[in-house]
Amino acid sequence: MDVFNKLKSTVTNTVSQFSGVLPGNPVTREYEVTSQTCSAGPGLMWKVYHGFKKSTKQEASIFVFEKRLLEKWPRENKEVILESLKHGVTQLTKLRHPQILTVQHPLEESRESLAFATEPVLSSLSNALKNQETASSPIGQKKEQKLFDLEIKYGLLQVAEGLAFLHSDVKLLHRNISPESILINQQGAWKIFGFDFCVHGDVKQDGTVTWSSAEYSQYLPSIVQPDLDYLAPEIGLTNSSPSASSDMFSLGMLIYAIYNNGKPFISYNGDRNYYIKKISELKNMQKTFLSSIPSGLQDLVKMMLHSTPELRPDPHQFAKVDFFEDVGVKTLNYLDSLFQWDKLQKSQFYKGLPPIIQNFPHRICLFRVMPCLGKEFANSSMVPFVLPAVLQVAESCTQQEYMTHIFQYLQTAMKMTSPVQILLILMQKMELLLKLTPAEEVKTDVLPMFYRALESDVQQIQEICLSVLPTFSGLIDYSAMKNAVLPRIKRTCIKTNFLGVRVNSLVCIGKLLDSLDKWLVLDEILPFLQEIPSREPPVLMGILGIYKITLNHKKLGIPKDVIATKVVPFLMPLTIENGLTLNQFNTLFAVLKDMISRVESEHRLKIEQLNAMSQQTSTMTTGPSLQEEIFPSQKNTEPKTDLEAIFSTLGSPKETVTSPTAGNLSLEDKQRLVKQQETMQRFIAQPSLIPSTKVTNELPKNKPTDLTDALLQSNLNEMKLFSNTTSPAVTSNKTALPNNFSGLSLQPQLSSVTWNQGMNQTMLQTNTWTQPTQPIMSPPFTGPNPAFGLGNKNQNILTHQSFSQNLISDPTNLSLLSPIVIGLAILALAIWLLTDPSAYISVTQDEASFKSGIYVLLAIGILILIVGILGCCGACSESQCLLISFFCTLLVVVAAEIAAGAWAYTNKTELENLVKVSLQKTIQEEYGVINSRTITIDTIQQELKCCGANGPADWANSQFNNKKAKLDLSVSSVLEHYEIPASCCKGDKDDVVCKTGRIGKGTLPISGIIHEVGCIPKMYEYLESYLTIVIIIIAVIALLEVLGLILSLILCCAVQFVNRYKA
């Protein structure tokens, strides 16, 4: 709950922060404001925010002027400032030029602000030059703001082009070219802004243009006059008419400030005498004055700052200086004018673009070059020329930059099938694409493009796909390699008509073997080699190379049975192919000999090991003395004839076998030997099957003689005596129980284990069972036969161990008690809700729905209880059926709980609103009308110490106050009084004070007598205080359920193992 409150608080603060920027301004109806990016305009009064248009989601910048900033000026100046700002925006809206800031939404005025929207702006030149005194969140904290030389050069050229447009086409004089009036958009282009002090010219009949201008006044606020730091002297000092050269003087001052770390030459600061002094210094300008400016621009700036306007260069002359004849400047200029070129000119330009942009700063490539290149992806014929430059920019990008600025264009190119050069270029940069593209987009865009290229009919594309695939195979996940890449390579290799593609497919598979596992190679790769229809020597060498790599690979290897049954029969016929050269033939036979020698050595070693193990097992099982008695003719037996001597070597192994060395064993043989040794150790560790045959015949003193025990002992002794005297001629090799032992019954005085050991001893001593000549009479045997080697659990049951003892002795059974505990808890909760009329949950439902929900909860509790009982019964009785049923049902319950929790989490807002609305509805409409609702609300208010849903005022218009007589209604309406339930009173107040305090007036709560906090806030506070306990309980229940699932599976597997051992 605390997390929800924090999230709610964060969202509320964010909304309130940005709603305070444009309170009531019509711009907010169409644009969504996010964050401030910079400040601009005269005095940096305009705050620039990033945002987007709500209808189209198009990015934009919203300029805001807050009228509260005018409070520091006198009243007579406020209107002048507002009119100046409005005039500048109105004039900007009328202008359309690439070097003029584009307005997307006109100026809107509200009581608190002025606002308008433009194209996305990254920063003002003033902010970029570290002049950010009024910017609340400087752009420099977000992005690198160092201005590169290329940016400055091209930016100055763009400003000059904009001034040329204003002077020649519009006949407009800007009069305030300064860092505050130059904005940098997202692509890095410099745009002219701040037309607050512009002046329109008068065109005379001879074509000349004159401009009129007011003299600079010290008595007006600086915000309504041009910046004197950049203003031409003919405007700032004299009352002479300005000209286009006045803007060029301002541009020269701007150049000086840019190369002087943002510091202007004059720095007026309200001192007019200082301004006059600095202007006079310009007349005697020294070389050192321009030392910070590049040498190629010093002479031009000196002319621009000349005191005589006629000697200053115009914008066209400024743009033709050699300083701007730079490859980077020309490249950026060409990119801006590409829309005027035909496809041939564009293709030639794009071919030479990669080596040029290689020297560009990364920010210029990303924000200036990429948008121009991205426009060409709409034309598929131009994509092959653009792709190399785009991929070169991508190499220096982070993944976030790549996904934001580049992937959207490459995503379009990946879906193109023509021209084929697109796939070729993308395949060559496949490693880069997989490195920068997230895994989800790799699956949806990159790999499908690779699959299409691999299935292409163009030989060159297929070969380059196969050649580049091993270089990035480590970046492809295993499932995609197994289920998508390998099947396509196999299909291409089998169906292609090009020998080069088939050979490259085999080479590609050979290089991919390192990234594949052994079983995938054995199941998919090796069988596929036999399906290749071609038998050309290059193909055969490719196949042989895969076999050789797999055979000698430490991780892979080929088992000897696969070599003997599949590989050698396949390779042997290939040796007689006529197209093989001598070297190829020798290579093929060398691999075959290596395989055959491995099969020979490994299988010989296996046979020797098996023979040694068989001999060892036989010796340990029968023993030397018993073996001599059973097989007396096997020792010292010599073949009587030559034929017998020949066939004697083909039978059983000899007595003495050399023990093999472990170093020559394969992994499979070592695993087999370990299993055999473990089996032998378990066999040796079993209780002795031939214990002492002595049976105690002595009976305890002072006790009666047990005739049944005596008769049984007599029968056993006779059986032993008879078996010891049985003739070998009638001995059978098959062990069987005598017929007269099928009905024996044991008395409690004779242990079943002792009886079992005695019978086993007799069986092994005689080695056979024969039917005695006379039947042995004995009582019928009704219990289970103890000779079948039951496990510990069965012995416990057979020895009449109680259910409770078996349950406690096994921790697995104790862990399966968790469903019973959970079922009992749910049953208790359902019974409490059914019997308690004041349950809180009844507030949100009607009576029928509430009881229906309780009955459903009751049924769930009974079901879980039954499942838990069945699980414990299955554990105690070792029933696999019950255990599996318990596991499946508990798994369904856990899945249902997870689904319910996920639904509640995703719909938490709706649940909160449901509780609020239901509680308010109950207080307003049902309190005092429905008895159960009245009891519930009273209980909530008393226990939570609250009143009303949101406060005591909720009772003013409730049904509780409207159920009185008409007389009471009329009186209360006149006095504006209303009653509050007694449950709202504090516990320490007596009835008289409480009754008095429960009469409210208007909507004001009665302080000190009743609870003044609403029940909804109290509920949240109550839930937050117990949130940790609830989470711990849920975690414990989940842990018990998961533990029950795991242990039920373990017990089920153990039961299956015991049953198999019994069999």
pLDDT digits (tens, 9 = 90+) for 547-586: 888 888 787 878 888 888 888 888 888 887 777 788 888 8
* Strands, E assignment, 779-847: none
Do residues 941 and 867 both lie within one domain?
no
Per the CB < 8 A criterion, the answer to whether 497 and 456 are in contact is no
Do residues 917 and 1025 both lie within one domain?
yes
* CATH code for the domain of 130: 1.10.510.10
Structure tokens at 967: 């007389």
Do residues 909 and 929 both lie within one domain?
no
**pLDDT bracket for residue 250 (50, 70, 90):** very high
Which residue do the tokens 């070297």 mark?
A: 583
Within a domain: 348: no
**pLDDT bracket for residue 762 (50, 70, 90):** very low
Query: Can you give the pLDDT at residue 807?
Result: 45
Please tell me the pTM assigned to this model.
0.51
Query: Can you give the pLDDT at residue 22?
Result: 59
Mean pLDDT of 861-888: 78
CA dihedral 247, 253, 258, 259 (to 10 degrees): 140
Structure tokens at 551: 């055979």
Do residues 184 and 69 both lie within one domain?
yes
pLDDT at 894 over 50: yes
Within a domain: 62: yes
Question: What is the per-residue pLDDT across 807-831, written as a single tens digit (0 to 9) for each?
Answer: 444 555 555 666 777 778 787 877 8
Question: What is the per-residue pLDDT across 648-670, written as a single tens digit (0 to 9) for each?
Answer: 444 444 444 344 444 456 777 77
Query: Can you give the pLDDT at residue 1062?
Result: 57
* Lowest mean per-residue pLDDT among 157-166, 186-195, 548-557: 548-557
pLDDT at 117 over 90: yes
Q: Which residues contact 417 (CB under 8 A, 6 or more apart)?
A: 423, 452
Do residues 65 and 189 both lie within one domain?
yes
Per the CB < 8 A criterion, the answer to whether 963 and 956 are in contact is no
Do residues 54 and 200 both lie within one domain?
yes
Last residue of a domain, one of 324, 339, 354: 324
Going by C-alpha positions, the residue among 904, 905, 865, 906 that lies closest to residue 886 is 865
CA 827/CA 820 separation, integer angstroms: 10
Last residue of a domain, one of 274, 302, 324: 324
Which residue do the tokens 């099947």 mark?
A: 487
Within a domain: 301: yes
Question: What is the per-residue pLDDT across 371-402, written as a single tens digit (0 to 9) for each?
Answer: 888 888 888 888 889 999 999 999 888 888 88
Query: Can you give the pLDDT at residue 939?
Result: 85
CA 540 to each of CA 490, 513, 563: distance values in angstroms, whole numbers, following the listed order? 15, 18, 17
Structure tokens at 120: 């996305």
CA 480/CA 356 separation, integer angstroms: 38
Phi, psi of 477 (to 5 degrees): -70, 165
Do residues 792 and 892 both lie within one domain?
no
Do residues 792 and 870 both lie within one domain?
no
Query: Can you give the pLDDT at residue 1008?
Result: 66
Do residues 963 and 1022 both lie within one domain?
no
* Residues linked to residue 185 through DSSP beta bridges, in sequence order: 121
CA 736 to each of CA 626, 693, 785: distance values in angstroms, whole numbers, following the listed order? 20, 20, 14
Mean pLDDT of 664-689: 72
Q: Which residues contact 377 (CB under 8 A, 6 or more apart)?
A: 383, 386, 409, 412, 413
In the chain, the number of structural domains is 4
3-class secondary structure, 557: coil
Question: What is the per-residue pLDDT across 475-502, written as a single tens digit (0 to 9) for each?
Answer: 777 788 888 888 888 888 888 888 888 8
28-32, 719-723, 957-961, range with greatest mean pLDDT? 28-32
pLDDT at 643 over 70: no
* Lowest mean per-residue pLDDT among 537-551, 748-762, 861-875: 748-762
Residue at 19: amino acid letter: S
Do residues 290 and 177 both lie within one domain?
yes
Query: Can you give the pLDDT at residue 457?
Result: 78
pLDDT at 274 over 50: yes
**pLDDT bracket for residue 856 (50, 70, 90):** confident
CA 839/CA 666 separation, integer angstroms: 72
Q: Is the peptide bond before 660 cis (omega within 30 degrees of 0)?
A: no
Query: Can you give the pLDDT at residue 101?
Result: 94
pLDDT at 716 over 50: yes
Do residues 856 and 941 both lie within one domain?
no
Query: Can you give the pLDDT at residue 336?
Result: 83
Query: Can you give the pLDDT at residue 788?
Result: 35
Query: Can you give the pLDDT at residue 11?
Result: 42
Within a domain: 171: yes
CA 500/CA 493 separation, integer angstroms: 10
Vertex 876: Cα angle to 872 and 879 (nearest 5): 90
**pLDDT bracket for residue 231 (50, 70, 90):** confident
Q: At what angle do helices 486-495 and 447-454 cross, to 10 degrees?
A: 10
- The whole domain housing 786 covers 752-757+779-799
**pLDDT bracket for residue 717 (50, 70, 90):** low
* Lowest mean per-residue pLDDT among 181-185, 201-205, 1013-1017: 201-205
Percentage of residues of the chain with pLDDT beyond 70: 72
Within a domain: 841: yes
Going by C-alpha positions, the residue among 134, 124, 88, 122 that lies closest to residue 107 is 88
CA 1048 to chain centre: 32
Within a domain: 219: yes
Last residue of a domain, one of 799, 830, 862: 799
3-state DSSP percent of the chain in helix, strand and coil, to 5 = 65, 5, 30
Do residues 916 and 929 both lie within one domain?
no
Q: Mean pLDDT over all residues of the chain?
A: 74
Within a domain: 256: yes
Question: What is the per-residue pLDDT across 595-625, written as a single tens digit (0 to 9) for each?
Answer: 888 888 888 888 888 888 777 776 655 554 4
pLDDT at 1002 over 60: no
Question: What is the per-residue pLDDT across 452-473, written as a single tens digit (0 to 9) for each?
Answer: 887 777 778 888 888 878 877 7
pLDDT at 992 over 70: no
Query: Can you give the pLDDT at residue 649?
Result: 46
* Lowest mean per-residue pLDDT among 155-169, 776-790, 972-986: 776-790
* Residues linked to residue 117 through DSSP beta bridges, in sequence order: 62, 105
Which residue do the tokens 């340990």 mark?
A: 620
Within a domain: 330: no
CA 208 to each of CA 172, 243, 315, 464, 748: distance values in angstroms, whole numbers, following the listed order? 13, 11, 17, 67, 135
Mean pLDDT of 780-795: 40
pLDDT at 774 over 60: no
End-to-end Cα spacing for the chain:
58
